[in-house]
Structure 1
Amino acid sequence: MERREFLKQVTQIGIGAAAITALPSFLKGMRLNTDRPWNFVFILADDMGWNQTGYGGSDFYETPNIDSIARSGMIFTQAYAPAPTCSPSRAGILTGKYPARLHLTEYIPGDPYPWAKLRAPKMVDFLPLEEITIAEMLKPAGYVSAMVGKWHLSKDKKYKLGRPGDPDTQGFNFVHPTVKPEDNANPNKDAHHAIEITNEAIKFLEKYKDKPFFLYVAHHVVHRPIMEHADLIYKYQEKKGSDELINNPIMGAMIERMDTEIGRLLKKLDELNLTQNTIVVFFSDNGGYNKLQAQDPLRGGKSMLYEGGIRVPFAIRWPGVIKPNTVNSTPVCGIDFFPTFAEIAGIKNLPKDVDGVSLVPLLNQTGDINRNDLFWHYPHYHRFGYMPSGAVREGRYKLIEWYERSFFNEDHPVSLFDLESDLGEKNDIADQMPEKAKELWEKLKQWRKGVGAQEMTKNPNFDPKKALFWNDKVNPNDPKAIGQYY
């Protein structure tokens, strides 16, 4: 369905500003303020690992305000990003679709790897305008939307009002994009814009407090370059465990800064009497960069389809609906926010190719979700990654296909893991369970066909001596320029 057709049909079926009090039946009797629809505040961290929150078990990272969201709501222990890198993950979150369906499967613009064995497909270079975002989906229901912070779904970071692909062309009324700092930025002056992002988010709340809203707060923490105020870093350097690979003092300082700003945002909701009508989500776009901080007990990290690259922290509070201190172990994904928010807002006529499912039955504890599998498609080489790959999660089992090996009919084209007994993916059981591996591999291949995924092709310029170089302009004598296979 085309974007304009969708918006027209949604309006025609009566889900306009005048009809927003016609709430779904499952919400009747739950509302604390029945004359107002639910607001949504979606807080997205950047490259934050599954093990970097206090509520998740860390005694090194201090996240009291994020933990407060978890304590007053629900945490998901098996939440997944739509992709192992930022742009495709953000696209999946905002549209409810698998990045493979969107043909946006790597961060924009991606690493070319001109001499590798396989050639990555040519993907779209910004989120297509025909795709409907959460902001556009909510608009006919009278919502006003804001995007503050990191966007990374445009051709470049030279944002300009009205330019196709920039946030205001994707349904956002209030826009304040920021970019990550340069390596030589002053770490004592809000280098990652955590304070600035929160200031702008608060401005939005103050201006639109009387309307239903969707506030998308996209932080740069803890993306490289890692930097923070020296005094705050010193605090974490002096903490027990600061020398362990699972802890990073600079990241600790960065996370505390972001958490403090999240606290300011939550306090503003209280001050404006919005807390009881506002759903708050905390999520991360992908796993952490494991060269800077180990993702233990998970394997790998950002840009990999091991658990460390795609399993992320997820906490949500929904006043009067979610019981405090609730833990859910159902595998869920970032593509699920689109249909979840739609159901809560009473919007039913969604695009037919949305891949996510509504999490409402899990949130209000009335049932389970109707889904057996989750999929990933990453046909790219990445400087911090392992190999181009795809994956499927079905119940306790997860299969990863290694595209180089499968393309050239090499040994061990797939790996199979039992996540219930082997969360760290240390034991590949594909040879022990060949039938299960075959079943999941076929399921993964059929899924790619079904969503129209772009496949890798043989690279005619393959040069084994240069294959690990990610750019044709790098110095071959610089070891930092070589992509590593971990």
Structure 2
Amino acid sequence: MSNQPNPAGTTRPNILFILLDDFGWRDLGCYGSDFYETPRLDRLAQEGMRFSNAYAACPVCSPTRASILTGQYPARIGMTQWLGGYSEGKLANVPYIDHLSPGYTTIASALRGNGYDTWHVGKWHLSKHGDDRFDSFPEKLGFDVNIGGCEWGHPKNGFFAPYGLETLEEGPDGEYLTDRITDEAISLIEQHGDKPWFMHLSHYAVHTPIECHEELVQKYRDKAQMLGRDQTSPFIEGDHFSCYHKKDEKILRRIVQSDPAYAAMVENVDWNIGRVLDTLEATGQKDNTIVVFFSDNGGLATSEGSPTCNSPLAEGKGWMYEAGTREPLIVRWPDKVKSNTISHEIMTSTDFFPTFLEAAGIELMPEHHRDGKSILPVLTSDQPFDRGAIFWHYPHYSNQGGLPGCSVREGDWKLIEFFEDEHLELYNLREDISEEHNISDKYPEKTKALYKQLQEWKESVKARIPEPNLNYKEQFGVQ
């Protein structure tokens, strides 16, 4: 099938979806970073639309990735935890689905069924570990090509070859994974045929381990010294973790962006994305390619080295607060999306599926993308857009210190329910983006209404609620 016109009479667009791992809301210059250098993504924002209220469906990776591909909330799918995660504290571990079933219709399979070539390059992390892991690899979920996607959520042996990823041919010793993933993506784009294509370019960066080319790391050591950020500790120590497997550790919050290795990773992935964008232009595909940039969850700011700071947003990856799920989102589509614009509309990661279908002129599939709403009107017109409420359900203790809970945002209002003690927190995000002032007592009617809405949603998706941990006292030495 050739690159056929869509119903609007225009050629169906290519779709380049760029997904980073653990990339924070303030990790780009255009989102406020004063330490990381991201000229290519900043330019992409100037050439397209930047969103201030875009959200991942979960504060950890695998559930968000599943939501992007299926258009369904993690709670509905049953995949509420990163695959391989296990945690318990006062509450017991909550079972979850440990792979994305081939029975799902994904955005890739929907596009492939309508004449698109579909390519996955990079991180997958939606498969089981074990002999049956191949049953839920990208090839089983709508992708013609899979390069680098497997059960691992991080490069098994680190970012320098040999990587230990069975779906990526080993490179020479010392090759850097982000560079290699980009080379593979460029090769596919350069060799494309007549059909439109969808690329799911999913970098392992900037997940741990935090490491990059030494010369680039040294650049940021020098920059941190020049700015005086190496003179005082960038961390504030917090309370002990509430989960059993980390109960002897304390939360360590980064309060300033100053980590040289993380900064180097950010600049490197920015440069590599620039290489892909240059390839689109060099091959004459820029004008007919939708480019989307997004992250799977918030920046890592409270544990595992705490390499970034998400301020003014609270906390980061693994938390129900804003920095856990609010993400940078940039969309460029020449002559369709106005350049250098900012949208304050609310959207979430389930919305990509219907958006891409509508952009390609393909009939929507609401029976599949059940929790998604197309944001094409936001991108291409000034039509009013009411996303309605969006929801999160993360009933686990995170490796970063976050507590089990769920939340809802409707308009400026956000309500969080924490499962350990069932307490509620209400915030007006327009007035309090940092979630510093819980105003649930001040606005009891708003709290009650959002709480009711949240309970009804949990019932509708059959969300799993954690039970008390019967071994808690023994595990934590409580009398």
- Which TM-score band applies after superposition, normalised by the shorter structure? 0.7 to 0.9
Match of 1:327 in 2: 342
> Which amino acid letter does the alignment assign opposite residue 359 of structure 2?
I
CA offset digits 1:402-450 (Å, max 9, x no partner): 01112xxxxxx11001111111000011111111111111110100111
Aligned residues: 432
Deviates more, 1:173-182 or 1:125-134: 173-182
Match of 2:6 in 1: 22
> Which amino acid letter does the alignment assign opposite residue 52 of structure 2?
T
Contact map agreement 1:209 1:272 (CA 8 A) in 2: no
What SS does the aligned partner of 2:472 have? coil
Shift in Å, 1:185: 6.3
Match of 1:175 in 2: 146
What SS does the aligned partner of 1:78 have? strand
Match of 1:263 in 2: 274
Confirm or deny that 1:309 pairs with 2:293.
no
Match of 1:472 in 2: none
Contact map agreement 1:20 1:345 (CA 8 A) in 2: no
CA offset digits 1:368-414 (Å, max 9, x no partner): 334221100001112212210100001111000001112xxxxxx11
CA distance in structure 2 between the aligned counterparts of 1:73 and 1:159, rounded to whole angstroms: 42
Confirm or deny that 1:417 pairs with 2:401.
no
Q: Identity of paired residues, percent?
A: 41
> Which amino acid letter does the alignment assign opposite residue 202 of structure 2?
A
CA distance in structure 2 between the aligned counterparts of 1:184 and 1:275, rounded to whole angstroms: 33
Q: How does 1:303-452 map to 2 (within 5 A)?
A: 303-352=318-367, 354-406=370-422, 413-452=423-462
Confirm or deny that 1:137 pairs with 2:113.
no
Shift in Å, 1:365: 2.1
Confirm or deny that 1:89 pairs with 2:78.
no
CA distance in structure 2 between the aligned counterparts of 1:405 and 1:205, rounded to whole angstroms: 52
What SS does the aligned partner of 1:77 have? strand
Confirm or deny that 1:164 pairs with 2:166.
no
Contact map agreement 1:46 1:220 (CA 8 A) in 2: yes
CA distance in structure 2 between the aligned counterparts of 1:172 and 1:326, rounded to whole angstroms: 32
CA distance in structure 2 between the aligned counterparts of 1:443 and 1:37, rounded to whole angstroms: 39
CA distance in structure 2 between the aligned counterparts of 1:103 and 1:46, rounded to whole angstroms: 21
CA offset digits 1:438-475 (Å, max 9, x no partner): 1111110100111122222233333364389xxxxxxx
CA distance in structure 1 between the aligned counterparts of 2:443 and 2:309, rounded to whole angstroms: 30
Deviates more, 1:454-463 or 1:58-67: 454-463
Match for residue 122 of structure 2 among 138, 142, 149: 149
What SS does the aligned partner of 1:320 have? coil
Match for residue 111 of structure 1 among 60, 83, 86: 86
- List alignment gaps of at least 5 residues for structure 2: 162-172, 235-254
Shift in Å, 1:210: 2.5
Contact map agreement 1:242 1:249 (CA 8 A) in 2: no
- List alignment gaps of at least 5 residues for structure 1: 1-16, 29-33, 407-412, 469-486
What SS does the aligned partner of 1:197 have? helix
Shift in Å, 1:141: 1.3
Shift in Å, 1:111: 2.0
Shift in Å, 1:272: 1.1
What SS does the aligned partner of 1:79 have? strand
CA distance in structure 1 between the aligned counterparts of 2:432 and 2:229, rounded to whole angstroms: 27
Q: How does 1:60-99 map to 2 (within 5 A)?
A: 60-99=35-74
- Aligned Cα root-mean-square deviation (Å): 2.1
User: Structure 1's 416 and 241: CA in aligned 2 closer, same or farther, altered over 3 A?
Assistant: farther
Deviates more, 1:134-143 or 1:454-463: 454-463
CA distance in structure 2 between the aligned counterparts of 1:242 and 1:210, rounded to whole angstroms: 51
TM-score, structure 1 as length reference: 0.85
User: Structure 1's 465 and 119: CA in aligned 2 closer, same or farther, altered over 3 A?
Assistant: closer
Deviates more, 1:242-251 or 1:42-51: 242-251
Confirm or deny that 1:250 pairs with 2:280.
no
CA distance in structure 1 between the aligned counterparts of 2:298 and 2:400, rounded to whole angstroms: 12
